[in-house]
Chain A
Amino acid sequence: MHTPTYLASGLRLPTNWLDYTILGIYFLVVLGIGFAARRSVKTSLDFFLSGRSLPAWVTGLAFIAANLGATEILGMAANSAQYGVYTTHWYWIGAIPAMVFLGLVMMPFYYGSKVRSVPEFLLMRFDKAAHLLSSILFAAAAILIAGVNLYALAIVVEALLGWPQWVAIVVAGFFVLAYITLGGLSSAIYNEVLQFFVILAALIPITVLGLRSVGGWDGLTDKLTASHGDNFVTAWGGTGIGSDNPLGANWLTIVLGLGFVLSFGYWTTNFAEVQRALSAKNLSAAQRTPLIAAFPKIFIVFLVMIPGLVAAVLVPKIGTSGSDLQYNDAIPYLMQQLLPNGVLGIAVTGLLAAFMAGMAANVSSFNTVFTADIWAKYVVKGREDSYYVRFGRLITAVGVLASIGTAFLASSFSNIMAYLQTLFSFFNVPMFVVFIIGMFWKRASMKSGFWGLVAGTTAAMVNYFWIYKQGIIDIPSDQGANFVSAIAGFVAGAVVMVAVSLFTAPKPQAELQGLVYGTRSPGMAEPPAEGDDAWYRKPALLGWGAVVLAAACYIPFSF
């Protein structure tokens, strides 16, 4: 049986009127952004894609903030308390290469083809079967993930502030509902940019004070080496094939499962992320969206990993039966121990903002896919544009209510991050394989998209529920199993796609323009905007710079 995610009741924070004032101001600003963005919503393109008109720094920070939800923050701190410096893999190999690939290689096809969503790209490249299946899979996954955020928020708020769970769910649900129905994607993105800075203001003091409390970085590594062994403070130590390490993964599953399949699946085909780039004002800005996001991503790992490691020192038995504290409690525990009123209010605000942003990113992508891909193409076709804006607002409310319902599914997992990655391996990985083959192999036939999706999803689920859960093959941890599920889903999807392509008709060449590598669509020929030729705005330089920087970051943790 899994241990539930309930935070220890001893984590109640000593909040006072000052902290609540800070929190209250934030909620007012969030609503204010919603009301102020409302007047910019005139067409469905405004509501679902901000009219494709935002500057790159805004979409770039929203891109990273949509990922930096509270489940990511608490989950990665939990990972660090449990597995140590291995957490850096989720950032340096598990994010940067994929983000750079999205910006440099894939974005011209996404943005240039003018699709509004990731499933819509599959409609252009493959057929309606692939489109409808991927739309439904994505819509379901978005609601599940929004539910995880909401549930985790309720648990954390109950433990930290003492609000009953239903109060937290209703309050957070109401604010997310209000600002997205009012301002659409623009207000979701603007709130994400704001949340990015607030969460930094919360995490930096926790990290600095946490390090101070254990005697700096040297004190931290010395104590962890003494208590957890040498490998706990290295990135690659103990990851040889066949050797035993707490992560339950070796270098091959890390590089292929996490670094290639899972991370490319998440960053390049998860519409909650890609939507931010599609709302940029031109192709150059769209390309730079994930590249601008890559630089903060390289360094954010320190702000979540160090608190997790510090918690592992201060509470040596964290996450075991010898302590009340779960791994997920690492950051709340440090907030309680180290932050005085004032900064504490900032930290609480940052955490709530991050929960709401994580939920809002999924709700705002869900309403787009449900309206533009499912409703407008298969159910009620050909109505006037304003009808679809109204429907988008309605379905936003439905989505928020549905995610309240899915929240409780998350309760059976002890590590929220592991649960999310399980969902990603089911839903994103098959999408990724269909994408990558469709984008690079002209011969991939119209029907192969659908069957690739079916095979990939089935293989990932079979691996998880049957091979791992039933113990057919012994995999030591949830995370290790996710890496294997991802590889299984990828390989099965790829094999089936190739097999189906060989026996069915390819899509006519003329319909592949701008969708397959090596072709161009008419829309991609737009001239660069003024100022976009500055050297620091060159996508290639930004992209390769991020890759080199991430690789360099590994050096101090590898020897």
Chain B
Amino acid sequence: MSDHYSEDDLQKEITELETKSATAARLFDIRRIIGGLFVVYGVIVMIAGFTASDADIDKAEGVNINLWTGLGMLILGLLFLLWLWLRPTPPPPAAPDEDASTS
């Protein structure tokens, strides 16, 4: 407990870890997952809407809620995929490759 841990030590430690960090380079883009899942959910729920029974519609206050919710989810999913297509994942910042430099 006697050793003093100062702000400089912390800055140095974090800066060093940041250069070795792999998240920016290797982590996938979440937009793909959100888009994919919502397209799948949208289609499933819309199919439930197209095949809705009268009992289903009566239960939901006369609204074909599956159809509308499914449509909303499908559109959200497509918007995420569109966003990904228009603005693809930016390449990771060009950090010095420490594997190459240390070997």
Contact = CB atoms under 8 A, between A and B. Distances in A.
B72 A194 contact: no
Contacts of A213: 61
A338 B57 CA distance: 9
Most chain B Cβ neighbours within 10 Å, of A25, A51, A116: A51
A383 interface: no
A514 interface: yes
B5 A281 contact: no
A335 B6 CA distance: 54
A490 B26 CA distance: 44
A57 B45 CA distance: 27
Interface string A500-526: 000000000001011100000111000
A340 interface: yes
Interface stretch (A31-39, A263-271, A301-309, A479-487): A31-39
A42 B7 contact: no
B69 A43 contact: no
B81 interface: no
Nearest to A25: B40
A523 B90 CA distance: 24
A124 B11 CA distance: 11
A201 interface: yes
A341 B45 CA distance: 9
Contact of A22 (B25, B28, B44): B44
B63 A212 contact: yes
B24 A45 contact: no
A338 B37 contact: no
A338 B14 contact: no
Given A123-B5, A513-B7, A51 B24 contact: yes
B52 interface: yes
Nearest to B1: A128
Contacts of B66: 340, 342-343
Contacts of B5: 123, 377
Contact of B18 (A22, A45, A514): A45
Interface string A8-27: 00000000001001100110
Most chain B Cβ neighbours within 10 Å, of A186, A194, A201, A209: A201
Contact of B23 (A186, A343, A378, A511): A186
Given A22-B44, A340-B52, A343-B69, A33 B33 contact: yes
B61 A42 contact: no
Contact of B76 (A45, A197, A337, A523): A197
Given A21-B44, A521-B7, A194 B27 contact: no
Contacts of A523: 11
Interface string B44-85: 110011001001110111010110111011001000000000
A51 B23 contact: yes
A406 interface: no
Contacts, number: 156
A462 interface: no
A190 B33 contact: yes
A115 B7 CA distance: 9
Contacts of A342: 44-45, 48-49, 66, 69-70
A355 B94 CA distance: 39
A53 B11 contact: no
Contacts of B59: 337-340
A367 interface: no
A113 interface: yes
Contacts of B30: 58, 190, 193-194
A522 B15 CA distance: 12
B27 A40 contact: yes
Contacts of B22: 39-43, 46, 51
Contacts of A51: 18, 21-24
Contacts of A120: 10
A116 B14 contact: yes
Given A40-B26, A194-B30, A281-B24, A522 B65 contact: no
Contact of A18 (B48, B63, B73): B48
A288 interface: no
Contacts of B73: 201, 346
A52 B18 contact: yes
Contact of A201 (B11, B61, B72): B72
A43 B24 contact: no
B21 A42 contact: yes
A421 interface: no
A280 to B, nearest CB: 12
A105 to B, nearest CB: 20
Interface in A378-421: 378, 385
Interface string A324-347: 000000000000011111110110
A238 interface: no
Contacts of B1: 128, 378
Contact of B27 (A113, A186, A385): A186
A505 to B, nearest CB: 15
23 contacts: A18-B44, A18-B48, A29-B33, A39-B22, A41-B23, A42-B22, A43-B20, A45-B17, A45-B20, A51-B18, A114-B14, A201-B76, A209-B60, A212-B61, A213-B61, A339-B60, A340-B59, A342-B66, A343-B66, A378-B1, A511-B6, A514-B7, A521-B7
Interface of A: 18, 21-22, 25-26, 29, 32-33, 36-37, 39-46, 50-54, 58, 113-116, 120, 123-124, 128, 186, 190, 193-194, 197, 201, 204-205, 208-209, 212-213, 281, 337-343, 345-346, 377-378, 385, 511, 513-515, 521-523
User: What 6 A-B pairs have minimum CB-CB distances, sorted nearest first?
Assistant: A51-B23, A342-B48, A51-B21, A340-B56, A42-B22, A53-B24
Given A114-B14, A342-B69, A343-B65, 18 more contacts: A21-B44, A22-B45, A40-B23, A42-B22, A43-B22, A51-B21, A52-B14, A52-B18, A128-B1, A201-B41, A339-B60, A340-B52, A340-B57, A340-B66, A343-B48, A343-B66, A511-B6, A522-B11
